[in-house]
Structure 1
Amino acid sequence: MALQPAAGARDLNPLQVEGNRVLSERLAAVYRLWGYDEVSPPRVERLDTLMAGDAIAINDVVRLVADDPLGLRPEMTASIARAACTRLASRSRPLRLWASGTVFQSRAADEGGQFIEENLHSGVELFGVKGIEAEMELLSLLIAAVKTLDLPDVQRPQLLFGHTALMDLVLKPYEGDRRNAIRSALVRFDRLAIEAMDLQLDQREMLLLLLDSRGEPQQQLQHLSNLFGHQPVFQELMRLSQLLEPAAGALGLGLQLDTTFQPAFQLYTGLVFQLVCQGKASPVVIARGGRYDDLVYRCGARGEHAAGVGFSFAIDPIRELLGETPRHAQRDAIVLVAFSPESSLESALRHQSQWHQKGCRAFVELAPVANRQAAEEMATVRRADQLDWIDS
């Protein structure tokens, strides 16, 4: 029998599990305050649903050996969008949903073979709002959720956002394979690839300028207006940034607009964003999201209902940033019930039941303990906060 987990899978210890639970519950409390209802999408889905109309590459999906083409979800948005457009289609819009659960991504391991990344995610989806008002609610909710995580100042959280319409403006002069190659280089921030392309000098200089076009949103929008003239997306992003700046500033959350930012999954058709913190060695992405109207349309919604925005927090990286136990997390006191050779397990179990009726965590040492001192040492080893010693 193999004693090691599959490559990429992890065994979490009780402290890590408790940290994940605390963080998930903090986020869930915020979602509920904002009127979002919990759903539970399946871990297993048909491949065509998981791939979201080829927005997610087949190599990113952990495929299952089954009669039907099935896989494990690499994210939860596609499954929730499917449910919103089928079982929940009769519910009024806006439709506000949240979910928490494990996601699985497949990639090639450095030494060859398959590497499966397994992570706990928590996030929200908002369906049925076409305008910028959806993004205004979504990112306001994101900032409220970040506040509950109690991130230390040293991690300097940054909200980086862009828009697919900005990338379309950059790529407008190009077609076909050249357009795809330029897009790929910009998304990968690959200056060398752009410099090596067979382009006119002014085109190359413009692309390199736009590759470095990121910073304070209002300044960046003014810069883009000078380059491209008035565009409707600029006005929308200006309105959004003006809404977010006060709350973000109060939280110490930086805002940055990046003209060429696009996520790995080509799921989004509008605003795209990610929340980045400074880790011990390198930046860590703790949340991602955006608008995915095309996905909702492919799931069967039409007209004004063919609209969706959402985000998802990656819980495990957040826990690792904060240490195994989130700051200010309250751990329930634990009672060890132990009994001497003159007493009995039956008596210890009755004592345990009394602790449980008071709402206290208590567990029993199942074998008799020689004396109280030994029981106290055992309580320390078992990480109990209190000893209930039964000597008769």
Structure 2
Amino acid sequence: MTIQMFEKPLGMRDDFPFIAKKKADLRTNGTTIIQQAGYELLQTPTLEYYETIGKISAIADNALFKLLDSQGETLVLRPDMTSPIARVAASKLLKEKMPVRLGYYSTVFRAQKREGGRPAEFEQMGVELIGDDSLYADAEVIILAGNIVKNLGIKSSRFVIGHTQLLQLILEDFGLNQEQIEQVRSTFVSKNSVGFETLTNQLPIESSRVESFISLISTTTIEEWQQWIDPHNAKQTALYEEMKKLKKILDRSGLSDLVTYDLSFNSHMTYYTGLVFEVYAAGSGFPLGNGGRYDGLMKQFGLEVGATGFGLRVDRLLELISAVPERQDHTLILFDEQNEDAAYDEAQKLRAQAKRVTLQFAPAVMAIDKFSNHFSEVLRMEGVN
């Protein structure tokens, strides 16, 4: 295979100045909101051990970037942020601060098999609340995700909320074994309604309950969930009551019209063990982010604590913020060797007034007129005594 000089690895992208600035602004706005909510920012290494983070991560093995270090250990480029932060939170330094609130803005890497427009490197912004197993923690992260999206000026956002554990208990009530439950979950994750109905005909479900089973994929309100709750099953009842309380909190926070309660909703991230959610918005065919409760993941790091959080895809947020570069005030000062001192003084004076100024040696520019068109104001000081 011949690699061309300007070719990039599969899934890798360049960020041109307009996008780079948008990302910088988004990072500032988003992390400010995260810190105002009481979260501390942290950064984990780009490289992690495959035996720990690589295997624990919910990312498929063939989507991991792997390499060997000088000692022969297999490393991976960070595939997500939840697993590394769980590792950090399990350290003695943070374990004594539980519950701990951690936020991040970081790059993650996921290998792509073929060119299909999907990035192999992208930024995520989010939070993890570790050490709190209450529904109030779940409500906090959902509301925070909503606040970030709203602050970025993204309109028509929506949340889809489900519950992994409650769905598991309900599927067991239909007489399914774990292998069959996993098959059902797979159709839910891929949102394959045709595949779900085909699978239903192959499952050992009582004929009188088939219609009820198929209705699992069409719920939109928390009240609709009640038809599958067994009042004699204490665990089901407790989880359903918690979801009703969660709804009250979200309604109080102004999200009542923005949430769909879909009992069949499941995440492809397999470490979620309780409430799960995704964030959508008009204008994007993909979720802007996802989150949920992952108590089971913490056990793999030796901690018996609750944990919940979310991650937002920065590239998808950017697509909705603005597609057109904004024209901003930007002054160009052109100078030559005779008036460099005066040009420098003028630039410093304007910058002291909070103006954006580019100082350019005129003889080095091949096409001054074209170059000057990129600026809102041009001061030509070359040849001025």
TM-score bracket relative to the smaller structure = 0.7 to 0.9
Deviations 1:256-302 (A, max 9, x none): 011111111102111110101122xx633112111111112212223
Match among 208, 212, 230 for residue 214 of structure 2: 208
One-letter amino acid matched to 2:270: Q
One-letter amino acid matched to 2:343: A
Deviations 1:109-140 (A, max 9, x none): 269xx975221111111111111121122122
For residue 112 of structure 2, give the secondary structure of its aligned residue in structure 1. strand
Match among 290, 301, 315 for residue 303 of structure 2: 301
Deviation of the 1:241 alpha carbon: 1.0
Hey, what does 1:320 align to over in structure 2?
Answer: 319
Q: 1:153-302 counterparts in 2 under 5 A?
A: 156-172=156-172, 173-197=175-199, 198-199=202-203, 200=205, 201-202=207-208, 204-212=210-218, 214-217=219-222, 219-225=223-229, 231-249=237-255, 254-279=258-283, 283-302=285-304
Contact 1:50 1:61 in 2 (8 A): no
Does the alignment pair 1:35 with 2:41? Answer: no
For residue 111 of structure 2, give the secondary structure of its aligned residue in structure 1. strand
Q: Distance in 2 between matches of 1:107 and 1:368?
A: 46
Alignment TM-score, normalising by the size of structure 2 = 0.85
Does the alignment pair 1:336 with 2:328? Answer: no
Unaligned runs of at least 5 residues, structure 2: none
Q: Distance in 2 between matches of 1:220 and 1:56?
A: 32
For residue 107 of structure 1, give the secondary structure of its aligned residue in structure 2. coil
Contact 2:108 2:124 in 1 (8 A): yes
Deviation of the 1:148 alpha carbon: 0.5
Alignment TM-score, normalising by the size of structure 1 = 0.84
Deviation of the 1:180 alpha carbon: 2.2
One-letter amino acid matched to 1:386: E
Deviation of the 1:18 alpha carbon: 1.1
* Identity across the alignment (%): 25
Match among 378, 382, 385 for residue 387 of structure 1: 378
Deviations 1:39-77 (A, max 9, x none): 011121112333453633212222224321111122111
One-letter amino acid matched to 1:160: V
Q: Distance in 1 between matches of 2:118 and 2:66?
A: 12
Does the alignment pair 1:102 with 2:104? Answer: no
Unaligned runs of at least 5 residues, structure 1: none
- The verdict on how the C-alpha distance between 1:262 and 1:51 changes in structure 2, with shifts beyond 3 A counting, is farther
Match among 105, 129, 133 for residue 130 of structure 1: 133
For residue 288 of structure 2, give the secondary structure of its aligned residue in structure 1. strand
Contact 2:271 2:294 in 1 (8 A): yes
Larger CA deviation: 165-174 vs 237-246: 165-174
- The verdict on how the C-alpha distance between 1:52 and 1:162 changes in structure 2, with shifts beyond 3 A counting, is farther
